[in-house]
Structure 1
Amino acid sequence: MLQQQPYDSPLPNLLKGSPPVRFLSSLYSLAMKIRNGRFTSGRAAVLSLKSPVISIGGIRAGGTGKTPCAMMVGEMLQETGNTVAILSRGYRRKNRSDFIAAPGEKINWHDCGDEPAMLHNVLSNCWLGISAHRLRVAQQIEQVAGNVVFILDDGFQHRQLKRDLDIVCVNESLFNDRMLPDGFLREQVSSLGRAHVICLIGKKENRELLLHLEDSIKSTYKQASTFIAYPQPCGWINAGTGEIAERPPCSDPVAVCGIARPERFFESLESLGVIPCKKIAFSDHYSFTKNDFVNIHKLYSKELVITEKDAIRINEFSSEISSKIWYLKVRLKFHSGDSTKRFKEKLQNILPKL
């Protein structure tokens, strides 16, 4: 198996790889094996919907491109005339009750989470169902919307709901990671044996590494179709006015983000020739306040640039503040036209039941 650089860990170096932490990781690994075994053996119930379900998930916590992949899938389905419904638990939302939003309905990210809100905002004809019990809100959507295609966001571990297509997003660290809490793996890499599609998402500059990884994945998980995709910057949008530009108005802005892998955002800026005068990283899903941006702007007297996901969390700010902020629009792009065609065929193959 292809080996990568030293593995990442959410823990400080003092604890990373220590015997107590490895013991905790082995306990967690055992718990996941038992849980998965219950579903595989049929001892745990798996429930079905009338409509097709596409799960998009991962085996690594945070930052593997699941949300951009869900956005790409939603756009492809809508291009062929399908009505899409996003199902999510709504991570870090403030409202704990079930939440359903119709296409075009104005929503607040506090009710559903920032990533589902972004998907609902980008996908024009999209329902949104948020609940710890995804089946319950999905059945309610089916009653009012009729024929839909459900996208189960971050759904690989949500095995209670039967899916017609299981898409798993992985990155360059796939074969060199550890189980939580020592590493970032939610479950063993061997769980990819359940996947129908594996999307290997990484930087275009790492093309050779990604191709080597693709070969390793194909030889190990023969049941799955494997694709390589790159995050592709698609322009800048003013968070206050909606103005679109090829470049931000300032070549040395303050770069601010609250995402799982801030270094990816900062690297993408520099690859576009945007050299931030200051880089500020908040925790993933951070709830920005107006003062965060007012103080940063006062301190540096520069325009601010953020990610599209961060932009969802500032949409209640006044236009006076948000008009000084630009966000980078990024979409996934397959490394070949043939890959795009094959991926679309995988989607179409599950749709005849409509």
Structure 2
Amino acid sequence: MIRAKRHDGRVCSDSRKIIGVWRISESICGREVFETHARARRGGVSLIGAASWTWSTLNSVARRFVQQWGTQASLGVPVVSVGNLQAGGAGKTPIAIEIARELKARGKTVWILSRGYRSALERSYGVLTESSHTHPLSDYGDEAPLLAAHSRATVIVGAKRIENFKRYWASGARCDLVILDDGLQQFGLKKDFDVVCVTDASPSDYFFRERRTQWSEREWVIETKGSAPFQTPTERTSQVKLVSQIPESLRAKKLWLISGIGRPEHLLQSLTDQNVQMSKTTFLPDHHAYDGEEIKAFIRDARRQEFTLAITEKDALKWKAFVNLADEGVEVIGYGCQWVSDRTLFFEALWKSCFVSPCI
């Protein structure tokens, strides 16, 4: 099922191992840099700028290495990658959901390969659908359940994406297309269409994996949060506004927003644009690992101060493991994609790349 495609006849047998080692080191080191950044900034030292430059440079080298001398595996079905240049907070999850929904509406069976960042299954394997799962739901992390619930696609979780795809395919299941969640830097896999989600974030203030000014004909840039501070290909660029969805009944309440997502200031701005005012906010790191005592403390404090707690769907997945949200009066904020530019143009390009001139 898996076929390795060689470029210009030259093959480096260790290329996948090299890229694999780099992926692990990037994950570990990048995570540590990101988590210590806030402390460093208080001391007047910015680690993010230096880390962004280092990782961007090394990823550019890795990308060019694979393109010229390495091998790329083919899954045998079209692959759409949805990724970002910065580490989190670019809106790739709602974009992946939007793509899966559209393709399913066109009659295609879609699988989503998700790393399951910081989940119990990140170094393992699990399958999740809208109505079934092979492991306890809490093992899938905070993104895979959202992908499954909103896209109604099958989500395969685990960092070894090619191996996990083969394993599920061997079970007899079949699909027409794979969406590679957070796949921009997955250099060892052949992709038919690369969706790159960008924001107005600066590499000096936010950890960047890559900084790009040139794009191939199979890449499409989607600006999700402001205009990107670098050159983008105007003929292959879309603008999508991520809109928060909040019940009308909450507008008159005294709200306390608690959020553990990337770039929560955009969530707050989206709510403000809809005339929803937050009386209090608590912003936690992206993928924050809540525990039961912490959540119960938030609930006690909210009751004492007469606040209504509001959290995102991503946070709600973790809270549900400890409390009944309805019983505790916790409100959940959803989201949706509002296309500012031509949605049809984007999907026509994707369809052509995957089903008219696929790279499989």
TM-score range, shorter chain: 0.7 to 0.9
Q: Aligned partners of 1:276 and 1:332: how far apart in 2?
A: 22
Aligned to 1:39: 66
Q: 1:102 to 1:263 in 2, by over 3 A?
A: closer
Give 1:156 deviation, angstroms: 0.2
Aligned to 1:149: 177
1:74 aligns with 2:100: yes
Give 1:61 deviation, angstroms: 1.2
| 3-state SS of 1:351 partner | helix
RMSD: 2.9
Aligned to 1:316: 321
Correspondent of 1:12 among 41, 48, 72 = 41
Q: Aligned partners of 1:351 and 1:311: how far apart in 2?
A: 37
| 3-state SS of 1:344 partner | helix
Q: Aligned partners of 1:25 and 1:185: how far apart in 2?
A: 5
1:217 aligns with 2:232: yes
> Tell me, which stretches of 5 or more residues in structure 2 are unaligned?
1-33
Deviations 1:158-207, CA, capped at 9 Å, x for gaps: 1111111111001123xx534xxx7422023246447511101125xxxx
Q: Aligned partners of 2:278 and 2:192: how far apart in 1?
A: 44
Q: 1:322 to 1:70 in 2, by over 3 A?
A: farther
Correspondent of 2:208 among 169, 185, 188 = 185
Aligned to 1:3: none
1:172 aligns with 2:200: yes
Q: Aligned partners of 1:56 and 1:299: how far apart in 2?
A: 43
Q: 1:320 to 1:199 in 2, by over 3 A?
A: closer
Deviations 1:204-236, CA, capped at 9 Å, x for gaps: xxxxxx4xx6994126xxxx6111111123x33
Is the 1:254–1:300 contact (alpha carbons within 8 Å) kept by the matching residues of 2? no
Aligned to 1:228: 239
Correspondent of 2:116 among 90, 105, 113 = 90
Is the 1:86–1:150 contact (alpha carbons within 8 Å) kept by the matching residues of 2? yes
Q: 1:63 to 1:109 in 2, by over 3 A?
A: farther
Deviations 1:120-171, CA, capped at 9 Å, x for gaps: 12122x1111122101111233343223321100000011111111110011
Aligned to 1:351: 355
Give 1:351 deviation, angstroms: 2.9
Correspondent of 2:302 among 293, 297, 310 = 297
| 3-state SS of 1:304 partner | strand
Deviations 1:85-118, CA, capped at 9 Å, x for gaps: 1101110102332112245215645322211111
1:59 aligns with 2:85: yes
Q: 1:151 to 1:303 in 2, by over 3 A?
A: same
Aligned to 2:146: 118
Is the 1:93–1:109 contact (alpha carbons within 8 Å) kept by the matching residues of 2? no
What is the identity, as a one-letter code, of the residue corresponding to 2:208? L
Correspondent of 1:130 among 157, 163, 171 = 157
| 3-state SS of 2:72 partner | coil
| 3-state SS of 1:114 partner | coil
Deviations 1:22-55, CA, capped at 9 Å, x for gaps: 4x65544443233122211132x21011221110
Give 1:263 deviation, angstroms: 1.4
Q: 1:133 to 1:273 in 2, by over 3 A?
A: same
Q: Aligned partners of 1:225 and 1:260: how far apart in 2?
A: 25
What is the identity, as a one-letter code, of the residue corresponding to 2:351? Q
Q: Aligned partners of 1:154 and 1:344: how far apart in 2?
A: 19
Matches within 5 A, 1:17-36: 22=50, 26-36=53-63
> Tell me, which stretches of 5 or more residues in structure 1 are unaligned?
1-7, 204-209, 237-244
Matches within 5 A, 1:191-206: 192-193=215-216, 196-202=219-225
Q: Greater shift after overlay, 324-333 or 314-323?
A: 314-323
Give 1:64 deviation, angstroms: 0.9
Deviations 1:222-270, CA, capped at 9 Å, x for gaps: xx6111111123x33xxxxxxxx33427522111111111212222222
Aligned to 1:325: 330
Q: Aligned partners of 2:317 and 2:325: how far apart in 1?
A: 16
| Percent of aligned pairs with the same amino acid | 25
Aligned to 2:14: none
Is the 2:309–2:330 contact (alpha carbons within 8 Å) kept by the matching residues of 1? yes
In the superposition, the TM-score normalised over structure 1's length comes to 0.79
Aligned to 2:250: 248
Q: Greater shift after overlay, 261-270 or 95-104?
A: 95-104
Q: 1:304 to 1:250 in 2, by over 3 A?
A: farther
What is the identity, as a one-letter code, of the residue corresponding to 1:232? V
Q: Aligned partners of 1:128 and 1:90: how far apart in 2?
A: 10
Q: Aligned partners of 2:62 and 2:210: how far apart in 1?
A: 10
Q: Aligned partners of 1:303 and 1:71: how far apart in 2?
A: 29
